Structure 1
Amino acid sequence: MSNPDNVKEFFRTGVSQNHTISVTASSEKATTRASLSYRGQNGTVPNTDQKRYSAMLNTSIKLSKYLTYDLSTSYTRTQSDNLVGQGYGGNNPINSLFAWSGRQINMKSLEANWDQKDASGNYTYYNWNTNYHMNPYFTVNENTNSYKRDRVFGKTSLFYQPFEFLKFEGRAGLDYYNATAFERHYIDRSDYPKGGFKQTNQGNTELNLDFIASFNKTFGQFNITGMAGANYRDVSWDKTIFGANELTVPGVYTIANKNGDALTEMDHSHIRSNSVYASASVGWKNQLYADFSARNDWSSTIKEAFFYPSVSLSWIATESLPWLKGDGDILSFLKLRAGWAEIGNATNAYRNRAYYQLYTDGSFNGVAQIYKSTIYPNENLKPESIKSWEIGAEFGFLNDRLHFDVAYYNKSTSDQILNVTTPYSTGYSSMLINAGEIQNKGVEIQLSGDILQNKNGLNWTSTFNFSKDNSKVIELYPAMDLNTYGIGWTWGVATQAIEGQKWGSLVGTGFNRIQQEDVDKGLATKDQIGAIKVNSKGLAQTKSGVNFGNVTPDFMINWRNEFSIKNFNFGFLLDLRIGGDIWSQTMAHGYTAGTSVVTAEGGIRERSIVGGVDVMQDQKFVMQDASGNWVTNTIETDAYSWFKNDVSEYYTFDGSYLKLREAYISYALPKNWLVRTRYISAATVSLTGNNLALLWVHKSNKMRIDPETGGVSSDSRGIGFEQSSVPTSRSFGLKVNLTF
């Protein structure tokens, strides 16, 4: 029996709530604000949740004519009884739902019987598939992932101001968190067939100490502000993992219940840095400004100190040349600006020495194993360097009702710290080097206007933002003939930096296409270049190491509109992205398993098909005739064989989209209504919506996957990949603000 909405039936309506209460007290010498907040969420995946409790305190006390004391502190606890698993693991229910489950599955039956037990009291593991996947309801109810994190942030400053134009500050800041994650696997056919568990504890402490002197004084027509200071930074991080890959008794998650070696790992890092820094801004007659900054860092992770300065200049032309402005009916404001900056970056701890490490995957006759790092250290690592310059202009028209801001930037990143492969004959698998130069050029434009202005009627402000970035890998490491560098990898597909190309090429198994070489040999015609070759069975030929896409978007646009009329405010935001390719594991497995609608369109499962005619009609396919020449493909095959033919390029789509990102409407209660309450001075009721609609995607996105989902990694290694991600959800909120 068909259940066309069975995937949809698995999910539920998520509910979140936010509550905040704050109080403020002030006197002639002190001001204090305290707040408590709570946020609770029940996820769209059954039995998933997250809670957050926060407390904040800010106070400022004037101790004397010259001394002031500030204190800011906050505490946040984030906890969850179960977070949905990520990636292509057995504890991620999305894997079986999207990629491998058919529409014949009765989701209500799976939900009703996930905890079914036999006469002996053992789980029967009721499911539609007993080979690999678990019942998704068993996964979310029994194989849970709990999480708890406590975070404390505090900053305190003592100010001494002997003169109105001069101030000294001594500041101390502490950021500390401790997090515990606990994975439970009663049974997981793919990863933990005999059960298991893993507890991960992480702690991080960052201490910052600063002494800062600031200056602000006007000398005639010049205003000068400046700041100079020094910083000490100390960051400690530690991680401990323990658990078991097999359990003796199912469902007992203790080390004493392990079967075989325990899963253990301990790691830590400790980084210190010292810095001196200064900045100054000089303004002349409120029309010409020059800004300067400089910083020098000494890091425990890099041998040499690194210095990075910046300078910028801006000129308000309409102040210097009043005739440009006139009465403001046309040009009311003009500002020109230019800037140059250099930024230096250190690296992680313990990368410039050869350290020994513990082997964490087991022991030898009960004895722990220690090995020397297989990465050759580089004691002479230099800091990464980022140099950039920017020019821009701001315009105001029609008495500042229309604003236009444009900027062009050029950024060069060099001396990146890369881990490159070396021959095993060296005794190491890789080494750290300073290499690579990547250039980014781009433009950013903002256009905003007060289209309607009416004190007693409708007001409308519209803002349009456009951004475009062009990257190019100038070089990697010519001395080692290195012209390709891996950024990320999953399922045989890599994102790479390739010399001479844009950053973020997608490389993997692609279609074997007609090349100029085939034309030169007289085997193909010029108009066939790019056509996909098929074999004698009518299946697309493949080729390894094909560069079939790039993850970088061509450009991005957002358009915000805000309206108000009397006590009502409402608005919306649209986001548009054009370009940026994505390789999808959901698409790959959905095609292979036949669960994607693409595999059944036009009744192709019930008849013979021809590449380029019945499938992939937007591509040309060619076959070889008896003479070995390439001609239009007419070889028939079947849908099962076609979609089982694994080609990574086939599962890549253009990540373009148009989204209704947010919308809201709010109403401020009239003051005369609130007078009667005696205690409430202001009240606003708002209805908000976020991520409301995926209005359009590129035609290559056959499964209409949200291009903003990920699932591989949250850093640059995950850009351009989609892997069994929980579908993004739209949210609606009701917000009430009361001021007493």
Structure 2
Amino acid sequence: MKHLYFGLMLLLCAVANSQTTISGTVTTSSDGTTVPFVNVIAVNTDAATITDENGMFSLEVPAAANELRFSAIGFITQTTSINGRTTINITLQESTTDLDEVVITALGLERETKELGYVVQTIEAEEVSAVKAPNFLDNLAGKLAGVTVSQGATGVGSSSKITIRGEASFSNNNPLFIVDGTPINNNTVFNESNEAAAGFQEIDFGNGAMEVNPDDIASVSVLKGPSAAALYGTRASNGVIIIETKNGSQSKGLGISINTSVFVDTPFKLPEFQNQYGQGNSGQFEFVDGLGGGVNDLISYSWGPRLDQGTLIAQFDSPVTLPDGTVVRGGDTSLYNGVAITPTAFNSHPDNLKDFYETGVTTINNVAIGSAFDKGNYRISFTDLRSESIIPGVNLDRQTVATKLNFKPTDKTTFNASISYVNSGSDNRPSNGYGSENVNYALVAWGPRSLDINSLRQYWQPGLEGVQHYSFNYTYFDNPFFTMYENRNSFNRDRVFGNISIKQQITENLSLSLRSGMDYSSETRQLRRAFSSNRFQNGGYAEHDVFYREINTEFLLNYNNIFGDFSLDVSLGGNRLDQKASTKQSQTVNLAQPGVFNLNNAASPIDVFQFESNKRINSLYGIAKLGYRNFLFLDLTGRNDWSSALATPFSVDGTSFFYPSASASFILSEVVELPKAFSYAQLRASVAQVGNDTQPYQTSGAFISQTAYNGQPTFSNQNFIPNANLRPEQTTSYEVGADIRFLKDRIRLDATYYNALTKDQIISLPIAISSGYNQQVVNGGEVRTQGVELIADLTPILTANFKWNTTFNFSSNTSRVESLPQADGRLTLAYSRIYDSANQTVWFQVEEGGKIGDIYGTGYQKTEDGQFILTPSGSYIADNNLKKIGNYTPDFMLGWNNSFSYKNWNLSFLFDWRQGGELVSRTRALGTVGGQLAETANRPEEGIVPQGVVNTGTAENPQYVQNTTAVSAETYYRQFYDRNHEENNIYDASYLKLRQFSVGYTFNLKDGFLGLSNGMDIDLALVGRNLFAISEIPHFDPEQLAVQGTGFVSGVEDMSYATTRSIGLKAGFNF
């Protein structure tokens, strides 16, 4: 199919013939430099284009066209008469805002911002790609009010989670992504992990939207509320992110753009450790076999002897001299029998975790060519991303080919094609969660401070390569280098997404558009486990095939006209969505021969998991836009969806749902004479109803293939009772807002208040296991979401040579539960746990009156005034009743973006402030219990007196006195931070982060340079991402996600890998 699309575009280019066009150049009024990406529109026609990187454009216009309109962010819109001219050069006056700026709205329709009764926030190409991240979503953090981006915890290639206006659904809060009018998949497909202490742990292979290439993006528009997104029906309740890609050059000469970026990545923050005490327990340690044969060598706590005291102790890397004179290491336990280990100095290794990480390098190279021909333009782009992670053995390679064609064979026919092919892969993705497959299990949680990480780099025992690895403990842990280089989780993914569309101007006022788009992805994964792995003593191997395909075919019939003081624009359209997804997993946990990773090498029955789903949504929709004298605008929309996910084998009743919206915009400044300082004032309001569809087979159930029995295929039911009456979630929302601008647009203030009620939540309620199922899917529950968004855009300084623009994006949101199907209980939305232990679980539950994001856990008994209650021996008393211990939703978020330009110099930086919310840390819980973290450094010989009171009375009549009994430091820390009690391992998740920084210079080389007719622009910049943060959390980046089972969990940090600080150089060449 890739070859067919590409060949079609080449054919269309070849058959293009000559036709007259209007061309020209757009420059600035301040210094005469050219302006790229200016919208050029023939007024009252469908003819439109944008200027290229050199500010040039070429546009075919109908004979009836009289005016051209030029608009761009940062400039005042200008309209000029054509008057028979074929060359029009325009000078735009700079402004901080854009009163008539055209933005992309639902269905890819272009609208002027003044017409909209809802807020649409847009960021342009320069902001998206200023400091590029391997995951496209990370480029949006802090730049959009109400948009939250949280990065994954496994380095380059990790998934990032994005939400718009908080979380309102119990099941799905993912926004819809649209690229050039076509929906694309942003799902993350995890491996089907085993939550117990065996099997493959969770692995993050990345989210779908990360493969959108920033070098190909022209703009990103966010439809935040249901009113803005209502035309997407059952997919609209969580907002929509619309991505428009770049068009070709508007000049007939070949335009070439070359961009290269090189980043050096280092750990952003590492845990703070104590380095006074080493491996052992109760002050004693001696290594014999790492299996309990020595003194406390079964465990790896750091409650052992003091370090750096000259003490000689047998350790895993101490020498062993064999009878033949050969010297091996103490950990080479398979090579000696009864030979004594020579004790060596018991010293600290403060940098053992730092030395494990490497310096990462990411390079991103892009080459784009484009040109205009008589009837259109084209652009072809190739991008190569190669990243070596700070985590040893982890990498990401991604190559992207993007093509775009705009072709107008006749005055009334327009053809467009936008197609991207992406190949991405990695030799290794690190494992997540609690267990030996996550190297932080051995390095942070239970990594003794006496561990010399460099002694582990040679990770095979001599002569037993491929059979037995070398480590400091053989009971619970694997050598971290062995894990990263031998136990690999690789993948390779091919993806094609894009669309082909045609628009026919039937009459001057009537047009018909047809579009068909597809997102196709095919991925293979291989999970290899070497012999002697803690969870796979005889090795293991798994193959996963992950497939996804979505096809959207649609039409849109549009009529527009002007009747005196009124303008009317009416559209009727329809869409058919066909979606198919499948996952096939085959694995063995025993290999016959070491190092042969193939299912044919299985020494035990192969486990098989296979699931396939299909879904179809048929839709009809309509839009009516009415304007009055260019100051009052009314929009009415309606969409009806028929979803196969709501059908049953016996009926299609209940599959049809209608979603209406209405919005109005009033330009106050066009009607009322405001004080001179006001340059523009808009009031807006909207109301809408949208849906949130369910996954297939919730209404009728399905069979899942399982491991064969005696050679015969087996299948099982899903673990829930289907609900034939299931309905989609429904959100009814209203919002009001204002856009006020002052001092010739030097100051812009935009405010929005929204209030939404989401009902008919799709919930999986637990039921008695005696029913044969675990859950029942029902509709129920209501969530009220309220929030405010404030955008302040200011230009404090604007001269001929110097400009400072600063933007504040503020948002605050809360989602409160108004009702539940079980009014007297709590509903569990998610959890994060160690193995299968309910006593070591962080719960995310909701109850009536509570909020989404509430965190529940256990703690210790306290008095009414909050003092700990202790036993007479000084021990804390467990309170195993679940109680609310926090909420992960921030109180507010504020992004502060600044850009400075002086002649050819430019400087920009972005601060991202998140205030409030809580975070439970597994790193803290486990690292303190293990005696590794800095909190446990104070260990007085006389012990520690726990703060609290002792009950000297009775349970019915308590009499409390202050505790005076001391316990050993080891007892105190291990109990206070016990991982069974999450209350003492929670942090304030607030942070202030310097998200990105850039300083650069542009060389404008004149015409004739190197024989180039249009000269060349060279952009050079020093850039950085995640440069520093202010946070009360000492051990890790607070911007983290945990993975549990097959999904993300907010509000928990689960032994995460270090995030990165990136500093790099960027160069761009345009000619």
Count of aligned positions: 703
Alignment of 1:571-582 (within 5 A): 571-582=908-919
**1:682 equivalent in alignment to 2:1017:** yes
Structure 2 Cα separation of the partners of residues 605 and 673 of structure 1:
76
Where 2:885 maps in the other structure, the secondary structure is strand
Aligned residue number for residue 533 of structure 1 = 869
The aligned residue for residue 1043 of structure 2 is 712
- Provide the secondary structure at the position in 1 that maps to 2:761: strand
Q: Deviations over 1:451-481 (max 9, x none)?
A: 111112x321111121111221111114x74
- Residue pairs, 1:266-305, within 5 angstroms: 266-303=610-647, 304=654, 305=656
Q: Higher mean Cα deviation, 240-249 or 675-684?
A: 675-684
**CA–CA separation in structure 2 for the residues paired with 1:393 and 1:122:** 67
In the alignment, what sits opposite 2:361?
15
Matching residue of 2:748: 403
Confirm whether residue 497 of structure 1 aligns to residue 846 of structure 2: yes
Query: Could you tell me how far apart the structure 2 residues matched to 1:29 and 1:636 are?
Result: 86
Matched with 2:859 is: 510
Percent of aligned positions that are identical: 33
Contact 2:609-2:704 within 8 A present in 1 as well: no
Give the superposition deviation at 1:355. 3.2
Distance in 1 between the 2:789 and 2:455 partners?
53
- Stretch moving more, 407-416 or 183-192: 183-192
CA contact (8 A) 1:87 1:712 kept: yes
Contact 1:90/1:190 (8 A) holds in 2: yes
Give the structure with the larger strand fraction.
1
Shift of 1:106: 1.1
Residue of structure 2 equivalent to 1:524: none
- 2:716 paired with 1:371: yes
| SS in structure 2 of the partner of residue 643 of structure 1 | helix
C-alpha separation in 2, matches of 1:410 and 1:714: 33
Contact 1:243–1:254, Cα closer than 8 Å, also in 2: no
Letter in 2 for 1:335: Q
Match of 1:639 in 2: 969
Q: CA deviation at 1:687?
A: 1.7
Counterpart amino acid of 2:690? I
SS at match of 1:180: strand
Question: Paired residue for 1:310, among 654, 661, 678?
Answer: 661
Q: 2:879 corresponds to which letter in structure 1?
A: K
Worse-superposed segment, 669-678 or 204-213: 669-678
1:25 CA drift (Å):
2.2
Contact 1:54 1:74 in 2 (8 A): yes
Q: Deviations over 1:157-205 (max 9, x none)?
A: 1211122322101111111000111111104644222210111111111
CA distance in 2, matches of 1:78, 1:419: 35
Structure-1 separation of matches of 2:382 and 2:552 = 26
Measured against aligned partners, the alpha-carbon deviations of 1:685-713 in whole angstroms (never above 9, x if no partner) come to 1221111112x113xx3x33211122315
Aligned to 2:441: 95
Does the CA-based 8 Å contact 1:477-1:483 persist in structure 2?
no
Partner SS, residue 744 of structure 2: coil
Do the aligned partners of 2:619 and 2:642 also contact (CA within 8 Å) in 1?
yes
**Residue type at the aligned position of 1:340:** V
Q: Is 2:950 the counterpart of 1:623? A: yes
Q: Which runs of 5+ in 1 are unaligned?
A: 516-528, 613-620
1:81-101 Cα offsets, whole Å, 9 max, x none, are: 112222224332222222111
Are residues 1:488 and 2:831 paired? yes
Structure 2: which 5+ residue stretches go unaligned? 1-346, 648-653, 835-840
Distance 2:520 2:625 in 1: 34
Deviation at 1:115, TM superposition (A): 3.4
Q: Which residue of structure 2 lines up, in the alignment, with residue 525 of structure 1?
A: none
C-alpha distance in 2 between matches for 1:631 and 1:95:
40
Indicate conservation of the 8 Å contact 1:90/1:188, yes or no. Answer: no
Assess if the C-alpha contact under 8 Å between 1:447 and 1:463 holds in 2. yes
Give the drift of 1:567.
Answer: 0.4
Amino acid at match of 2:987: F
CA contact (8 A) 1:475 1:483 kept: no
Residue in structure 2 matched with residue 726 of structure 1 by the alignment = 1057
SS state at 1:636 partner: coil
Pick from 598, 601, 606 the counterpart of residue 257 of structure 1.
601
Cα deviation, 1:121-179, whole Å, max 9, x if unaligned, reads 55542222222111111111111111100001131112111223221011111110001
Deviation at 1:295, TM superposition (A): 0.7
One-letter amino acid of the counterpart of residue 445, structure 1: L
Tell whether 2:384 aligns with 1:50.
no
Indicate conservation of the 8 Å contact 1:556/1:576, yes or no: yes
Could you say which residue in structure 1 is the equivalent of 2:764? 419
Q: Distance in 1 between matches of 2:808 and 2:440?
A: 37
Instruction: Assess, with a 3 A threshold, how the Cα gap between structure 1 residues 403 and 433 changes in structure 2: closer, same or farther.
Output: same
Gap change, CA 1:713 and 1:464, over 3 Å in 2: farther
Q: Per the alignment, do residues 116 and 155 of structure 1 end up closer, same or farther by CA in structure 2, a change over 3 Å counting?
A: same
Distance 1:115 1:674 in 2: 62
- Please give the per-residue CA displacement for 1:542-584, whole angstroms capped at 9, x wherever unaligned: 2121211111111111111111111011011111111111111
Q: Which residue of 1 aligns with 2:512?
A: 168
Counterpart secondary structure, 2:484: helix
Q: Partner of 1:523 in structure 2? A: none
In structure 2, C-alpha distance between the alignment counterparts of 1:106 and 1:663, rounded to whole Å? 36
Match of 1:444 in 2: 789
Residue 357 in structure 1 maps to residue 704 in structure 2? yes
Closer, same or farther: CA 106–630 of 1 in aligned 2, 3 Å? same
Deviation at 1:222, TM superposition (A): 2.0
Instruction: Classify the secondary structure of the residue corresponding to 1:242.
Output: strand
| Correspondence for 2:984 | 650
Could you say if the C-alpha distance between residues 228 and 682 of structure 1 is closer, same or farther in structure 2, counting changes exceeding 3 Å?
A: same
For 1:401 and 1:642, the matched residues in 2 are separated by 60
Structure 2 partner of 1:608: 943
- Deviation per CA, 1:392-435, whole angstroms, max 9, x where unpaired? 11111222211111111111111011000123344432211001
C-alpha distance in 2 between matches for 1:717 and 1:149: 21
Structure 2 equivalent of residue 245 of structure 1: 589
Distance in 1, matches of 2:890 and 2:723, equals: 35
Q: Which has the higher contact order (CA 8 A, sep 6+)?
A: 2
Give the superposition deviation at 1:230: 0.5
Give me the TM-score of the superposition, normalised by structure 1: 0.91
- Report the Cα distance in structure 1 between the residues aligned to 2:382 and 2:770, rounded to whole angstroms: 61
**Corresponding residue for residue 15 of structure 2:** none
Offset at 1:299? Answer: 0.4
Q: Give the superposition deviation at 1:683.
A: 1.7
Aligned with residue 555 of structure 1, among 879, 892, 912: 892
SS in structure 2 opposite 1:604? coil
**TM-score, length-scaled by structure 2:** 0.64
Q: Does the residue aligned with 1:324 lie in a helix, a strand or coil?
A: coil
Question: Could you give the per-residue CA deviations for residues 458-513 of structure 1, whole angstroms, max 9, x where no partner exists?
Answer: 321111121111221111114x7444333333231111112211112211222211
SS of residue in 2 equivalent to 1:195: strand
| Aligned-partner SS, 1:97 | helix
Counterpart residue type for residue 98 of structure 1: V
**Shift of residue 380 of structure 1?**
0.4
Distance apart, 1:624 and its partner CA? 1.5
Pairwise CA RMSD: 2.0
Q: Which residue of 2 aligns with 1:546?
A: 883
* Whole-angstrom distance in 2 between the partners of 1:582 and 1:463: 29
CA contact (8 A) 1:488 1:716 kept: no
Q: CA deviation at 1:443?
A: 0.9
Alignment match of 2:680 (pick from 333, 340, 345)? 333
